[in-house]
Amino acid sequence: MRMPLPAALAAELAALLGDGWHVDEATRDAHGGDDSRRHVPPQAVALPRTREQVVALVRACRAHGVPIVARGTGTGTTGAAVPTPEAIAVSFARMDRIRAIQPADRCAVVEPGVLNGALQAALAPHGLFWPPDPSSADSCTIGGNLATNAGGPRAVKYGATRDNVLGLVAVTGAGELIRVGGAYTKASAGYDLTRLLVGSEGTLALIVEATLKLTPRPQAQAGLRAFYRDAASAAAAVSRLMAQPVVPATLEFLDRRSLTLLRRNGSDVPEAGAMLLIEADGSLEALPDILATFGTAADSDGLIDMDVAQDGAARERLWAARRALSPALRTIAPGKINEDVVVPVSRIPDLVAGVEALAEAHALTIACFGHAGNGNLHVNLLYHPDDAAETARAQAALPQVFALALALGGTLSGEHGIGLSKRDFMAHAFDAATLEAMRAIKRALDPDGILNPGKLLPPP
Q: Given pLDDT bands bounded at 50, 70 and 90, which one contains residue 148?
A: very high
Report all structural domains of the chain as residue ranges with CATH numbers, in order of start: 7-91 (3.30.43.10), 98-216 (3.30.465.10), 218-311 (3.30.70.2190), 333-448+456-460 (3.30.70.2740)
> How confident is the model at residue 320, as a pLDDT?
82
250 touches 225 (CB < 8 A)? no
What is the predicted pLDDT for the residue at 368?
A: 94
Residues 204-215: tens digit of each pLDDT: 999 999 999 999
Instruction: Give the C-alpha distances (Å, rounded to integers) separating 8 from 4, 13, 15, 155, 414.
Output: 11, 9, 11, 47, 42
State the Cα–Cα distance between residues 426 and 424, nearest whole angstrom. Answer: 5
| Confidence at residue 311, expressed as pLDDT on a 0 to 100 scale | 79
CA distances from 238 to 182, 189, 226, 242, 255 (A): 36, 37, 11, 6, 14
Other residues' Cβ atoms within 10 Å of the Cβ of residue 434? 11
- Containing 282, the helix (H) or strand (E) segment is strand 274-282
pLDDT tens digits, residue range 57-90? 999 999 999 999 999 999 999 999 999 999 999 9
Alpha-carbon span 217 to 123, nearest angstrom: 10
156 has pLDDT over 90: yes
The neighbouring-strand residues paired with 310 are none
pLDDT beyond 60 at 278: yes
Instruction: Tell me the average pLDDT across 99-110.
Output: 98
**What percent of the chain clears pLDDT 90, i.e. is strictly above it?**
89
pLDDT in tens, 387-445: 999 999 999 999 999 999 999 999 999 999 999 999 999 999 999 999 999 999 999 99
The size of the chain, in residues, is 460
Q: Are 207 and 252 a contacting pair, CB within 8 Å?
A: no
Instruction: For 315-339, write each residue's pLDDT tens digit.
Output: 888 888 888 888 788 788 899 999 9
Pick left, alpha or beta for residue 31 (phi over 0 → left; psi -120 to 50 → alpha; otherwise beta): alpha
Whether residue 166 is predicted with pLDDT greater than 90 in this model: the reply is yes
Q: For the chain, how big is the Rg over CA atoms in Å?
A: 23
What's the CA gap between 191 and 214, in Å, rounded?
Answer: 23
**How far apart are alpha carbons 349 and 105 in whole angstroms?**
42
Determine the pLDDT at residue 316. Answer: 85
Instruction: Give whole-number Cα distances, 298 to 135, 227, 235, 269, 422, in Å.
Output: 25, 10, 10, 18, 35
Distance in angstroms (rounded) separating the CA atoms of residues 218 and 13: 47
Mean pLDDT of the chain: 95
Q: How confident is the model at residue 321, as a pLDDT?
A: 80
**Closest of 418, 319, 417 to residue 369, by C-alpha:** 319
Give whole-number Cα distances, 118 to 77, 92, 394, in Å: 22, 15, 37
Confidence (pLDDT) at 1: 55
pLDDT at 2 over 70: no
How large is the angle between the packed helices 287-298 and 231-242, nearest 10 degrees? Answer: 140
Cα→Cα distances 136→161, 164, 260, 389, 396, Å: 14, 18, 25, 32, 28
Q: Phi-psi region for residue 172, left (φ > 0), alpha (ψ -120 to 50) or beta?
A: beta
pLDDT digits (tens, 9 = 90+) for 180-195: 999 999 999 999 999 9
